[in-house]
Chain A
Amino acid sequence: MHNLSLTQLAAGLRSKQFSSLELTQSFLNRINSYQQLNAYVTVSSELALQQAEAADRRLASGDATPLTGIPLAQKDIFCTQGIKTSCGSKMLDNFIAPYNATVIDHFNQAGAVMLGKLNMDEFAMGSSNETSFYGPSLNPWATDCVPGGSSGGSAVAVAARLAAAATGTDTGGSIRQPAAHCGITGLKPTYGRVSRYGMIAYASSLDQGGPMARSAEDAALLMQVMAGFDSKDSTSVDQSVPDYSASLNDSLQGLKIGLPKEFFSSDLDSRMASTLLAAVDEYRKLGAEVVEVSMPTLALAIPAYYVIASAECSSNLSRFDGVRFGYRCHSPADLTDLYTRSRGEGFGSEVKRRILMGTYALSAGYYDAYYLKAQQVRRLISEDFKRALNEVDVLMGPVTPSPAFKIGEKTGDPVQMYLSDIYTIAINLAGLPALALPAGFIDDKPVGLQVIGNYFSEAKLLNIGHRYQQVTDWHLQQPHGFE
C-alpha cells in the first residue's frame, strides 16, 4: 500500500481494497520500524487513527475529497492544536499550539489523516537537518549523509514511504534542497500563494509553505488543498486557485526553456552538469526549445539573502522571551536575566548566529551598509529574473551543487553550509515558484533538477514535472532497505 500514488490510494479507498484505518495503521507500523531515520519529532498515532475512522465514515457517505483518508505528515513548523509544535527547537519543546495553522485546517477539512510532525532544522535555519534539537534525520539513500534541510524530515518521510506525502516550507531552498537530496518532488510556490498563518516565522518576506511528494501528480493534489487566499495572513494574495491536476498532461510542444549560464558555469561539478543536461535533453524530445540566458546578479544572492533572512529572523525571534510560552530558564535573577538566559539556553548555535548577524545588520551605523544594500541587491536579482522570464517560459538549473553530503561535513564552517543553497536562494528573494524534480543519480545518491517559473505559474511547473515523469522513472526509484 505504501508504494501507491495518492491517486491510487484514493481509488483503493473508494473501491474498498483497504480502509483508511488499515492504510494509516500500515504507515504507523512503518514509522515504528524505521525510527532510526529520525524523520518524525512527534508521531500522533491516536489522532491519526481517529481521523482515519472519521475518513472511512466520510468515504462511505460519499462526500469525500481526493485526500480524504490519506495519511500525510506535517513539517513541525505548522502549528497543530493539541499536538506539540517544536519547530525543531528546545525553545518550543514544550509548546502545544492553541490553534491550527491555516494549512492544517485545510488538510483537516479535506479529511486527510495526520501521522505526525516531521523533523527539521531548528526554526528552519539550516541546510542539513543537523541544527535540529532532536538530532538530524538520516538520508535513506545513504544513512551517513544528510537529507538536506530545513524540511529534511519531510523529504525522508516521503522517500522512505513513512508518509504518503508531506508538507515543507522554503525560505531559501528548504523544500527543494531536501527534495533533491532524497529523490522526491518538491514545490516552492509563489510567495503569498499558501497561507503563512500558523507557520512559525523565520524570515517573513521569504517563507512559503509547499508540498513534498513522490511525483508532480501527487504534489498537485496537495497544492490544491494548501493554496488559497487567507484573510489571516496579511501577505496572502487574493487570486483564484486553478485546478492543478487538470493541466498536468498539457503538451510541452514549443515550451521555451532558459538555461542561466551562471548556473552552468565551471563551478558546477561536471557530473552534476551532465546529469542535468541529460534531463534538459528529455525536454527537447518533448518539444521544448532550449536557449541560454544570462543573470549576472545571481552571484550576489547568497550575501543578500543572509543579510535579509538574518535581519528578519532577529526581529521575528524576539517573541521568544520566556514570558508567555516556550522555554523559560530556571530561577531567573531579574527580567534581563530571564530574557537572556531563556533565549541563550533555548536556542541552538545556528539560530544564535543568525540572530546575532541580523541584530548587527540592523544596528545603528550598519543598517545602510548591510540591510539597505541587501534590499537593493534583492531588486537587481528580481529584475534579472523578470528579464529572463520575459524571454523564456521557465528556467532550468541545478537544485544543489552536489548530491547529499556527509553528516558533519559542513557543520564546522557556516559559510560552507550557506553555499549549499547557492542555486535556490535567489528564487526566494524574487518570490518566484520553483519545482525540484528527481533527475538522476551520482554515486547512488539522487540529483535534482530545478524548474523556475513566473509568478503564480505553479500549474505550469507541475505540468512540466509531470510530463518528464511520464517519460523517466527517476521518481519511482526507492532507497534500498526501505521498500
Chain B
Amino acid sequence: MSLTANDVKKIAHLARLGIEESQIEHYAQDLSKVLDLMTQMSQTDTQDVKPMAHPLDQIQRLRPDSVSETNQRDNFQAIAPQTEAGLYLVPKVIE
C-alpha cells in the first residue's frame, strides 16, 4: 500500500495541518512504510471479534447535574493568543 503526494495533501487538509510543499513527498514515503506495517493485520482473521475500544469494560459514570467549576474566564484568556472584551479573536470569518 502506498500513498501519493496527492493523498498526503488531502489528508493534511482534513487535519488542517500545514505541510511544506518540499516535504510532501517525504511524508508520502514515510506514511507508506507505516501503512505497510499496519497492513500486517489484514492476514489475521478477526471475523466475529468484538472491537475493543477501551482496556477495561467500564461504564460511563454519571454525576448530578450541578455546578462543579467556578468561572475562570480571565485565567483562561490570560494564556490566549488574542482576546478582546472577554472574547477570543480570530481573523474575520464573514466578509
Contacts and interface: CB of A to CB of B under 8 A. Distances in A.
A334 B92 CA distance: 7
B93 interface: yes
Contacts of A338: 90-91
A347 B92 CA distance: 25
Contacts of B75: 98
Interface residues of B, number: 53
B88 A324 contact: yes
A96 interface: yes
A332 B16 CA distance: 14
Given A360-B11, A376-B49, A377-B44, A340 B16 contact: yes
Interface string A216-235: 00000000000000010011
Interface in B1-49: 3, 7-8, 11-12, 14-20, 23, 27, 30-31, 33-42, 44, 46, 49
Nearest to A192: B56
Given A356-B8, A375-B53, A431-B55, A339 B16 contact: yes
A133 interface: no
Contacts of B86: none
A380 B44 contact: yes
Interface in A331-382: 332-341, 343-345, 347, 349, 352-353, 355-357, 359-361, 363, 369-370, 372-380, 382
Contacts of B14: 359, 363
A335 B92 CA distance: 7
Nearest to B38: A303
Contacts of A300: 40-41, 44
B58 A352 contact: no
Contact of B61 (A234, A336, A374): A234
A356 B51 contact: no
A297 B49 CA distance: 14
A428 B55 CA distance: 8
**Size bracket of the A interface:** 35 or more
A56 B68 CA distance: 34
Contacts of A374: 38, 41
B67 interface: no
A352 B27 contact: yes
Contacts of A380: 44, 46, 49
A415 B30 CA distance: 8
Interface of B: 3, 7-8, 11-12, 14-20, 23, 27, 30-31, 33-42, 44, 46, 49-56, 58, 60-61, 63, 72, 75-76, 78-82, 88, 90-93
Given A205-B53, A352-B19, 12 more contacts: A192-B55, A235-B56, A332-B90, A332-B91, A333-B91, A334-B91, A344-B19, A355-B17, A356-B11, A415-B36, A432-B55, A455-B56
19 contacts: A96-B79, A237-B58, A300-B40, A302-B37, A303-B39, A335-B90, A336-B16, A343-B17, A344-B18, A353-B27, A355-B15, A356-B27, A359-B14, A373-B46, A382-B52, A415-B37, A418-B37, A429-B55, A431-B54
Q: Which 10 A-B pairs have the closest CB atoms?
A: A344-B18, A431-B55, A375-B51, A376-B46, A328-B81, A379-B52, A339-B16, A376-B49, A359-B15, A340-B18
